[in-house]
Structure 1
Amino acid sequence: MDQAQSDTLGFVPQKDIVYNKLLPYADRLDEESNDILSKIKSNLCRAVQLREIWPGVLFWTRKLSTYMRLYGRKFSKEDHVLFIKLLYELVTIPKLEISMMQGLARLLINLLKKRELLSREDLELRWRPLYELHDRILFSKTEHLGLNWFPNSVESVLKTLVKSCRPYFAESATQEMLDEWRPLLCPFDVTMQRAISYFELFLPTTLPPELHDKGFKLWFDELITLWLSVQNLPSWELHLVNLFARLANDNIGYIDWDPHISKVCFLFYFQHPLRSLKRLFFSFVAHAHVWPDIYDLTHGVYFMGGPSKQAQAQLSGLFNSITSFFHPSNHGRWLMKLMKLLQRLPASVVRRLHRERYRKPTWLTPIPESHKLTEEDITCFVKSMMQPVLLAMFSKTGSLDAAQALQNLALMRPELVIPPVLEKTYPALETLTEPHQLTATLSCMIGVARSLVSGGQRFPEGPTHMLPLLMRALPGVDPNDFSKCMITFQFIATFVTLVPLVDCSSALHERTDLTEVEREMCSASAEFEDFVLQFMDRHLLYLLHTLISQLC
């Protein structure tokens, strides 16, 4: 079918919307899309040749945007490259009206969004026009005088545009940027902030390994020495940390971080926030705002792996030091920031594991086998996270962050995560005097529900807990406690969505190849009908109570 579609279209589409094939008129879509695309190409080129920005160019670029929403990137690679180059030239037209520039920039971002479709060999973009556009708008000398007006959204659009174009800058771009902005590097001048922000935004970090000598190796030692030399929390440090984090993420396994971890870099990276927390603990709240807004510790995930294991040791030491801060009796703005750290760090590890093990290979630099996360690394990480997460379950700020952390941890190691949560859930379902404990544990059980019912080799007995949990949760349908009632409904809805409620007890007499867990599940499935009847009775009572309360 793909070959037939290519013959009909006359080219191989970059990325079609696969769901369009399910439409009743799918056999006519290729001819329809070809006709629309040819009109867009001819009329857009004609408008550009006539220099008719309005209404010609804007009208047909909107048509192109609509075409991409309906058909995806259903054009050839050559057309894809030409569309990008044309829009890039239009966006960087000097003194172009801001609203027009934003519309064209959003379409260009959409065209560049799927980086795997175009490699550096297919496309090359100049960095200087973007820099001049960025400098003219964000560092305007006339805006504060009222001579220019820029909308609030223009900064985010420009930064997103630079991030989308950055992988396609030329090999010589790094040296040219350094020549341009190195004279601004003075820690005692306000130009330092400007220079480091430019470095963070523009410096390319996705060059292939054979071009590293023309890439980060030109500035890495210089900037990391500068960072370690200034330890008084300057305003530009956030940009430098983000730059190193992006560099580490794009080049995992190609940079030797061990000298910096063992000496100063990683300790500084983690102990700075600890110093702020100590000040906060002793009521010096003036520094409460500095962490983790400046230090997003999820960047530490990019340093994990490799033979030395130093990053994991530092991360484990960090959580051993701050575990007591997650105690349920603690409360404050700093705890909310700690909870966000607790939620984001496991999510970052899951994203890295997906990148290493499941994502399709692209032209981007792959992670070498020697630096991929091993089973030992994952187990050590999950163990170091479990104690603070279990304390955070009953935090006064809510259990949502802990539930999200447990969800990601359970995806990696269900046998280490789910049993402690079950130990807290079963007693909470039996008690009637601690509703906060019940809502918190049910919220966390919802987070680990998929890992629980899926079983698998790591936690095969997981599905056997489903029916006992559902039966014990039925008393939670209490119209007198709204929060407990809602979390119970969500708990039951999550489990019955993941698992069909079917009586499989007859399979015990028909099948001889069932495992012990499967036999136990089949025998327990006979109680599903009893659970459904009890739930319907309680649900009807809840509806009747709600109706009476509204009538009264």
Structure 2
Amino acid sequence: MDDYSIESMRDTNADAQETSDYNLQKPNIYNKYLPFYKSIKRHASDLFEEIRENLSRTIQLGELRPGFAVWSNELKRFISLYGFYFTKDDHLKLINFYLSILSITDLSYPDVEICFDTLFDLMRKTSMITRDDLIIDWRLLYRWAQLIHDLHNKTSALVALPNCRMDAIGIIYREFRSERKVRPFWFFIPHETYRLTEQDTIDFVNCIKEYAFISIFNKDHNKEAAEACQYLSMLLPELIVPSLVEQLFSSLDNMTEPHRFTSIIICLTRVARQIVRQTPSYSEGQIYVLPLLMSVLPGIDLNDFQKITVTLEFLDTILKLITCIIREKISDFLSGSFLSPKVRKLVAGLIRALVKGNPIETLKYFLPKTCESIENIMDHADSSGLLIDHKGDIELNWYLILFAEFLRARGDTLLIYKQMIMSIFHRCIYLIHKDSYEAVASAAKHLLKSLSHVYPMEYQLTVENFDEPFVNFLPIRAWGQAADFDNLQIQFHIPNENEIDFACEFVETFLYLELRLLNEKCLKMSNNERLRSLTFIHHIAIGCFRMVPHVDSEKLPNL
């Protein structure tokens, strides 16, 4: 094994130069928008140093098991969280380190798999390393490929080289995209006469699209067909979007083949961005938005779970890409729909999007009505025996689920509803029906997280002000547009004193009440009552976990 890579892994920071963002390979671009970014950078540097030292130590001590697998997994996790938060020099040394491990002749196949998987992660960003930076002896890789191929029927050879295969359409799409966008890659640049032209793009899309359209209704390959349509619509949306929309409208009247509606909705979900966005070459897709939203509503069929799933997913995708106000319709739908447990989760996702997108207006419009409905039902709880009814009330369960979702709103927006919220908890905390007390417990968890956690206040990725008059800005022009991360001005919710006081009051009111109840009457309680109490305590603990200070203690020696 090459000793150079191990030594270089060990003393990379000998010069003790401070690492800045400019000489790092490719850090995770999202991390710089997080609060406490300086502490994140410091933690990333310390963690990478720890990973590097331990990888080197496992080889120096000759103990591949379990250290090599553990710290290789930590490296993969590090790249996932922080990106390539290291210099090019460190990047190359990591690659050479894993190549040197592959030079061990009796290396176990699990370790071979770790090496190839890690090398794939380290080398997949080809723009960061030039030909002059790295030369790999192909014989090393060929030897392992041959061994794996020869032992393909044996259990010990259940390891594969990195699977770099992609669908042909995806590859070609990236080829078109790379030629349209100049990047400092070191790939071979073909002569202009051999480069793809606009006519080549048109011919390619026309050649493939009919096969993709036919495959949409093939149950075995409809997902692949939807992906193909997505890539084709990125190239030339004007040749794909109108045909797909027309097929949807024709499927609505087809009573003999109802599965066609489900298949085409799956495909339209994949091309949603191309439908709603304006581009210099195509903007006509926006005229289909309202007809599509109205035409898919019959897909909310409680008798067909697959149909309602794909329909709600389509609506969720479209509504995330556009701006609209549909409060009245949603209010009527929520007040008259006590849905099955499976469908409730899907509808709750739509409510969650409203709460995150515009918490002030959403709470103002929905929360008082929901709380009033719960209060009206609970007013008859004593006479109907609801508090001790194990069967529960389907209407009450639905409103409690809505109540829990509304408490996901930003903490400061919940303060003005404090009295209303506390009243609901006081009245519903002792419900022993499983669905009811789980909804109440979830509401407690969401409330405490909203009040005490740090999270983004704005989920809008565009910088335009949608409240401006239409003369200054037309919101339709921002539909489906990609975000410019360099111009984002993300603001985070940092709990203020009033929110912390509310959270503490909630915990002191309900947590200690439940603990006293368990301490004094645990043996007298039924199993359902005991489970209700423990569930509520568990969710409160999860919600206020961030408020609990770290336990300071001395490290145990010789571990």
Task: Identify the TM-score tier after normalising by the shorter chain.
Answer: 0.5 to 0.7
**2:91 is matched by which residue type in structure 1?**
H
Structure 1 residues 177-196: aligned runs within 5 Å: none
- Provide the C-alpha distance between the structure 1 equivalents of 2:367 and 2:182, rounded to a whole number of angstroms: 51
Cα distance, 1:448–1:13 mapped onto 2, change above 3 Å: same
Give, in angstroms, the shift of residue 444 of structure 1. 3.6
1:549 counterpart residue number:
526
Matched, 1:427 2:372: yes
2:448·2:503 contact (CA, 8 Å) conserved in 1? no
> Which of 257, 260, 266 is equivalent to 2:241?
266
**Structure-2 separation of matches of 1:216 and 1:454:** 54
* Pair 537,395 (structure 1): closer, same or farther in 2 beyond 3 Å: same
Whichever residue aligns with residue 486 of structure 1, its letter is: E
Q: 1:112 to 1:310 in 2, by over 3 A?
A: farther
Check conservation: 1:389, 1:405, Cα contact below 8 A.
Answer: no
Task: Give the AA of the match of 2:395.
Answer: Q
Q: Distance in 2 between matches of 1:493 and 1:218?
A: 57
- DSSP-derived class of the 1:467 partner: helix
The structure-2 alpha-carbon separation of the partners of 1:112 and 1:240, relative to structure 1 and needing over 3 Å to count, comes to farther
Superposition deviation, residue 495 in structure 1: 1.1
Do the aligned residues in 2 keep the contact of 1:382 with 1:413 (CA within 8 Å)?
Answer: no
Seen in structure 2, the aligned counterparts of structure 1 residues 549 and 346 have a Cα distance that, compared at 3 Å, is same
The offset of 1:403, in angstroms, is 1.7
- TM-score, normalised via structure 1 length: 0.55
CA displacement at 1:482 relative to structure 2: 1.9
Residue 220 (1) aligns with residue 201 (2): yes
Deviations 1:46-66 (Å, cap 9, x if unpaired)? xxxxxxxxx999999758725
Match of 1:480 among 432, 437, 454: 432
- Report the counterpart of residue 400 of structure 1 in structure 2: 345
Which amino acid in the other structure matches residue 72 of structure 2? S
Please state how far the C-alpha of 1:488 moved relative to its aligned partner: 0.6
Cα distance in 1 for residues equivalent to 2:504 and 2:71: 53
CA deviation profile, 1:352-392 (whole Å, cap 9, x unmatched) = xxxxxxxxxxxxxxxxxxxxxxxxxx323877995897489
Partner amino acid, structure 2, of 1:317: P
Q: In the aligned structure 2, how far is the partner of 1:286 from the partner of 1:386? A: 27
Equivalent of residue 215 in structure 2, options 226, 233, 249: 233
Amino acid in structure 2 at the alignment position of 1:493? K
C-alpha contact (below 8 Å) 1:87/1:104 kept by paired residues: yes
2:324 counterpart residue number: 380
> Using a 3 Å threshold, how does the CA distance of structure 1 residues 409 and 309 change in structure 2: closer, same or farther?
farther
| Residue-pair matches, total | 412
Report the 3-state secondary structure (helix = DSSP H, G, I; strand = E; otherwise coil) of the residue aligned with 2:399: helix
Contact 1:200 1:239 in 2 (8 A): no
Report the AA paired with residue 438 of structure 1: L
How far does the alpha carbon of each residue in 1:193-241 deviate from its partner, in whole angstroms, 9 at most, with x for none?
A: xxxx333357525526445995695753234213443543365664354
Note the C-alpha offset of 1:343. Answer: 4.7
Report the equivalent of 1:318.
292
- Aligned ranges 1:108-507 → 2 under 5 Å: 108-111=119-122, 119=127, 122=130, 148=153, 158-159=162-163, 161-162=164-165, 197-200=167-170, 204=174, 207=178, 209-211=180-182, 214=195, 217=198, 220-230=201-211, 231-233=213-215, 235=218, 238-246=223-231, 257=237, 259-260=238-239, 265-273=240-248, 275-276=250-251, 278-279=253-254, 282=255, 284=257, 290=263, 292=265, 295=267, 297-306=269-278, 310-326=284-300, 330-343=303-316, 349=321, 378-380=322-324, 386=330, 390=334, 394-396=338-340, 397-414=342-359, 417-422=362-367, 424-432=369-377, 435-455=393-413, 463-499=415-451
Aligned to 1:68: 75
Identical pairs, percent:
11
CA distance in 1: counterparts of 2:372 and 2:157, whole angstroms: 52
Give 2:442's aligned amino acid: Q
1:499 counterpart SS class? helix
Decide whether the 8 Å contact of 1:84 with 1:108 is kept in 2.
yes
Relative to structure 1, the CA distance from residue 548 to residue 233 in structure 2 (aligned partners, 3 Å threshold; closer, same or farther) is: same
CA RMSD in angstroms comes to 5.8
CA contact (8 A) 1:98 1:150 kept: no
**Amino acid paired to 1:267:** P
| Secondary structure, aligned partner of 2:430 | coil
Instruction: Quote the offset at 1:418 in angstroms.
Output: 3.9
Please state whether the residue corresponding to 2:118 is helix, strand or coil: helix
Amino acid at match of 1:239: E
Q: Check 1:34–1:395 CA distance in 2 against 1; reply closer, same or farther (3 A cut).
A: closer
Q: Distance in 1 between matches of 2:251 and 2:129?
A: 47
Q: Alpha carbons of 1:20 and 1:550: their partners in 2 closer, same or farther (altered >3 Å)?
A: same
Deviations 1:323-362 (A, max 9, x none): 24336x5544322333344455556x4xxxxxxxxxxxxx
Q: Distance in 2 between matches of 1:219 and 1:384?
A: 48
- Partner of residue 176, structure 1: none
Deviation of residue 320 (structure 1)? 0.8
Aligned residue identity for 1:207: S
Residues 483 and 405 (structure 1), Cα distance of their counterparts in 2 relative to 1, 3 Å cut:
same
Relative distance call for 1:298 and 1:122 in structure 2 (3 A) is same
Provide the C-alpha distance between the structure 1 equivalents of 2:393 and 2:170, rounded to a whole number of angstroms: 48
Q: Residues 219 and 57 of structure 1: is their aligned pair in 2 closer, same or farther, counting only changes over 3 Å?
A: farther
CA distance in 2 between partners of 1:151 and 1:268 (Å): 50
CA distance in 2, matches of 1:217, 1:471: 65
Pairs within 5 Å for 1:8-27: 8=16, 14=25, 21=42
Distance across 2 between alignment mates of 1:101 and 1:333: 42
Equivalent pair of 1:429/1:472 in contact (CA under 8 Å): yes
User: What is the DSSP-based 3-state SS (H/G/I as helix, E as strand, rest coil) of the residue aligned with 2:271?
Assistant: helix
**Distance change in 2, residues 1:382/1:33 (3 Å):** same
Tell me what 1:352 maps to: none
For 2:156 and 2:354, locate their aligned partners in 1 and report how far apart those are by CA, in whole Å. Answer: 41
Q: Distance in 2 between matches of 1:451 and 1:38?
A: 47
SS of 1:398's equivalent in the other structure is helix
Write the distance in 1 (CA, Å) between the matches of 2:87 and 2:313. 43
For the residues of structure 1 that align with 2:335 and 2:264, how far apart are their CA atoms? 21
Query: 1:39 and 1:220, CA in 2 relative to 1: closer, same or farther beyond 3 A?
Result: farther
Q: Which residue of 1 aligns with 2:475?
A: none
Is 1:77 aligned with 2:80? no
